[in-house]
Homo-oligomer: A and B are copies of this chain.
Amino acid sequence: MPARTSLSGFPEWLPAERIVEQHILDQLRETFELHGFASIETRAVETLDDLLRKGETSKEVYLLERLQDQLQERSDSKKERTLGLHFDLTVPFARYVLDNAGELQFPFRRYQIQKVWRGERPQDGRFREFTQADIDIVGNGTLAFHHEVEIPLVILEAFSKLPIPPVTVLVNNRKIVQGFCEGIGVENVEQALRSIDKLDKIGPEGVRAEMEEFDFQAEQIDQLLKLAQISGDDQSVLNEVRALGVSNELLEEGLEELGALLAAGEKRAPHRLRAELKITRGLDYYTGTVYETELEGHKDLGSICSGGRYDSLASDGKRSYPGVGISIGVSRLVSRILAEGLATASRSVPTAVLVAVMNEESREASQDVAATLRARGIATEVSPNSQKFGKQIRYADRRGIPFVWFIGEDGAHEVKDIRSGEQQSADPQTWRPPAEDLKPTVKLGE
């Protein structure tokens, strides 16, 4: 863990690490905006009622109390409604949509990049503050299926631009599992999901033993285990499911949706989108396609980006708002990148040029050069001191600033690339650093 913070679970980054995080956030924003998602931010707090509306008591909530109320031991009746910090961006987004339904245009495409908080026990070592990046498309009353195809393609495009190993989106569809269960006469779908969820952990025989305890028939268990072991990135997946011989209308609808999704993946993100019919997480909540993701070489990290289709994000009694969305766990990803040096920043400051100062009387001439370079978009600092040039070069070197600018006693201007030592005369009105040195860059390591 590169975070040097005095409170566990609240990660903080050093300047060079922050450049990696900023680069990732900038890239995500750029991709989301290229696809027409509008930015919103919601307040950090929601009422406790809203936070617990979906029965999310398992999510640890941080409650807020005003210090003054505590000091004055104010009775509860004098306090306002209890407020808590949001633990995800879905609950606040649902509330925002209801608050502003009259002002928003539907389908509403929004992205939201914010911190969230979970009141985990400190000793559990989990993040208690972290950044999420969510995209959702929400309709008013209805939402077309093709948005379920769109979301994972946007995400794959976003990930493909990040300095990280390849990402695969794993998909399943509630309709397939639900329809399949109906088709083979399974009524307790939730238990079926719970048991299948343990497939990787306890193996097929473990799943079978558990399902037998819950009185599933041997043939039902066989069929569900066969279904759960189907995976693939092309239409052959559909044939494998159909070969199991189960006939059900909802199943067929789910297969058609999955087929359309895989076809789009084959065309627009080859081999990066894979059906995994054993995925059950979220199937109790979502109503259509569900998404998880796998970072190549980092399966232990779990899904760094998950989501799905829901038929009612929010409802005001009259209207409901169906949607589809996905959420990236940015801090978890950044933390892994930094801990393993997967990507690093080329320097720890935005500065491309340090203008040296010969003596304090000539500081103004150095400031003139800096102002000229900045006006041309080149990030420039003036040396804070007028010590020997060697010391000023070390100032730049320690920060990774690539160029130092000198004004000679004769008024001649020279710029030195302190990595190569190469020095040349230069005019602040026309000189430019190479494009790759203009701003700090972030590159995937070896």
Contacts and interface: CB of A to CB of B under 8 A. Distances in A.
A402 interface: no
A110 interface: yes
A40 B15 contact: yes
A38 interface: yes
A318 interface: no
A302 interface: no
B39 A19 contact: yes
Interface in A1-54: 4-7, 10-15, 18-19, 22, 33-45, 47-48
A107 interface: yes
B84 A144 contact: no
Interface residues of A, number: 82
Interface stretch (A96-104, A198-206, A278-286, A420-428): A96-104
Interface stretch (A188-196, A228-236, A374-382, A409-417): A374-382
A257 B121 CA distance: 52
A311 interface: no
A62 interface: yes
A441 interface: no
Contacts of A146: 360, 363, 384
Nearest to A114: B115
A41 B13 contact: yes
Contact of A34 (B5, B12, B379): B379
A37 B129 contact: no
A226 interface: no
Interface string A340-356: 00000000111100000
A129 B45 contact: yes
A61 interface: yes
Contacts of A43: 5, 7, 10-12, 129
A244 interface: no
Contacts of A371: 268
Contacts of A4: 99-100, 103
A398 interface: yes
A321 interface: no
Contacts of A104: 14-15
Nearest to A360: B146
Given A65-B62, A129-B45, A348-B105, A35 B119 contact: no
The 4 closest A-B pairs by CB, nearest first: A36-B381, A66-B119, A33-B350, A36-B351
Interface of A: 4-7, 10-15, 18-19, 22, 33-45, 47-48, 60-70, 80, 83-85, 95-96, 99-100, 103-105, 107, 109-110, 115, 117, 119, 121-122, 129, 144, 146-147, 268, 348-351, 360, 363, 371, 374, 377-381, 384-385, 395, 398-399, 439
Given A22-B39, A61-B66, A105-B395, 15 more contacts: A5-B43, A7-B45, A33-B379, A33-B439, A36-B349, A36-B380, A37-B350, A38-B349, A44-B117, A45-B129, A60-B66, A62-B64, A63-B67, A107-B384, A144-B384
25 contacts: A6-B99, A7-B47, A7-B83, A10-B45, A12-B42, A12-B43, A13-B41, A19-B38, A22-B39, A34-B377, A36-B379, A36-B380, A36-B381, A38-B349, A38-B350, A44-B117, A60-B68, A61-B67, A62-B64, A63-B64, A65-B65, A67-B84, A105-B399, A146-B360, A146-B384
